[in-house]
Structure 1
Amino acid sequence: MSERVTPSAEAARALRDIERRRGQARAADQESRWVGVVFGVAIFAELAAPDFFGDGVRSWIGLAVAVLGCVYVVMLRTPRGGALLGRPTRLRKDELSPRFVWLARLAILAVMLIGPFGLRFLPQAPFPYTRTVVGAVLGATLIIFGRTLQRALTSLALRRDDKDGLGGATYGSR
């Protein structure tokens, strides 16, 4: 004798499957640990190098960090690069909250404007090796808390309206 599945039991199972897929999609949209380590070391090196090697090294280390950033962006856009970074999926743009995108752009613009102009008003570093200490704190923060911060930002960035369930919040494999 065959068991009959009631519509409510089937709906409950479908909702559990959606929640499981949502968790899998969010977990897959995180980078590997080594990406945070590489960028944490790069931030530390960029800020600490002038303290140890003089101001002449700033242009070279800045160029190296810019190249690292460009390589990262190119890797994000390719299937193999995404796999190497540990990101087999990526969030769809229509699943991002427009308010979050607007606030993120505003925050990036504020940092880009305040950074250079704010440094002009500081006559000198408050204590020796200030850049080294700041680089160590920022690099360690990225290495230790990078994945947690990324997970928190991802949960803030996603739309809350759930207009079509999970509905493919992420693209499939690249």
Structure 2
Amino acid sequence: MSDRLPPADEAARALRDVEQQRSRSRASTRESRWVSVVFGLVIFAQLAAPDFFGDGVRPWASWAVVVLLLAYQTMLRTRRGSALLGRPTRVRREEISPRFTAAARITILLVLVAGFALALFLDGPPFPYMGTALGVVLGGTLIFFGGTLQQSLNSLATRGPRDMPGAVHGSH
């Protein structure tokens, strides 16, 4: 008997191997837990600081967030920084669905427009310590559900077999 598989079985096995590698690659694009915790705490601190220290602290908190985001972005662009963040791989640009990109951009734009509209019509916060409450909700969501949210967004963003028939997916 021959040790060779029939071509159909060999092709099915190869496709199964490719799909397993793809799912391992997608799983490795998640960041370390500490990144979600740090950003959750920073979001809480930025939103809660004016409630406790007055409005004079807003510019300093904003600059601290900008510096943190620049450091994060710089780390993502280097191998060592990505490894430190727990992201040894990243999804290729070709893997991101154009439909997801368009929907994400529209959602971000709508949130920004709604935020500006609320800022124009509201004369101060609707209740005391609203920034603290919002910081607890947003920061807590990121701390406790950040990994799950990131995994869900990665699954939505990467192109599936419907978007690119016959294509081999991966990351680098």
| TM-score, length of structure 1 as denominator length | 0.90
Shift of 1:168: 4.4
Partner deviation per Cα, 1:58-101 (whole Å, 9 max, x = no partner) = 11111001110111111111111111111111111111111111
Inter-partner Cα distance in structure 2 for 1:71 and 1:112:
24
C-alpha separation between the residues in 1 aligned to 2:15 and 2:150? 26
AA at the equivalent of 2:83: A
Which ranges in structure 2 are unaligned for 5 or more consecutive residues? Answer: none
How far 1:152 sits from its partner (Å)? 1.0
Counterpart residue type for residue 64 of structure 2: A
What residue is the counterpart of 1:52 in the other structure? 52
2:104 is matched with which residue? 104
Hey, what does 2:153 align to over in structure 1? 153
Gaps of 5+ in 1: none
**C-alpha displacement at 1:102, in angstroms?**
1.3
**What is the total number of aligned residue pairs between the two structures?**
170
CA RMSD of aligned residues (A): 1.6
Separation in structure 2 between the aligned mates of residue 118 and residue 125 of structure 1, nearest angstrom: 10
Give the Cα–Cα distance (whole angstroms) in 1 for the partners of residues 124 and 18 of structure 2.
Answer: 55
Corresponding residue for residue 83 of structure 2: 83
What secondary structure sits across from 2:156 in the alignment?
A: helix
Match of 1:137 in 2: 137
Match runs of 1:33-48 below 5 Å: 33-48=33-48
Q: Provide the rounded CA distance (Å) in 2 between the counterparts of 1:115 and 1:4.
A: 63
The sequence identity of aligned pairs, in percent, is 57
Give the drift of 1:169. Answer: 2.4
Matched, 1:170 2:148: no
Residue identity in the other structure for 1:170: S
C-alpha contact 2:21 2:170 (8 A) present in aligned 1? no
Matched, 1:6 2:3: no
Q: Which residue of 2 aligns with 1:70?
A: 70
Q: Which residue of 2 aligns with 1:22?
A: 22
Task: Give how far 1:5 is off.
Answer: 2.0
Distance 1:93 1:4, change over 3 A: closer
Q: String of CA shifts for 1:94-150, please: whole Å, max 9, x gaps.
A: 111111111211222222333233222112322221110110010000011111111
CA displacement at 1:56 relative to structure 2: 0.8
- The one-letter code matched in structure 2 to 1:5 is L
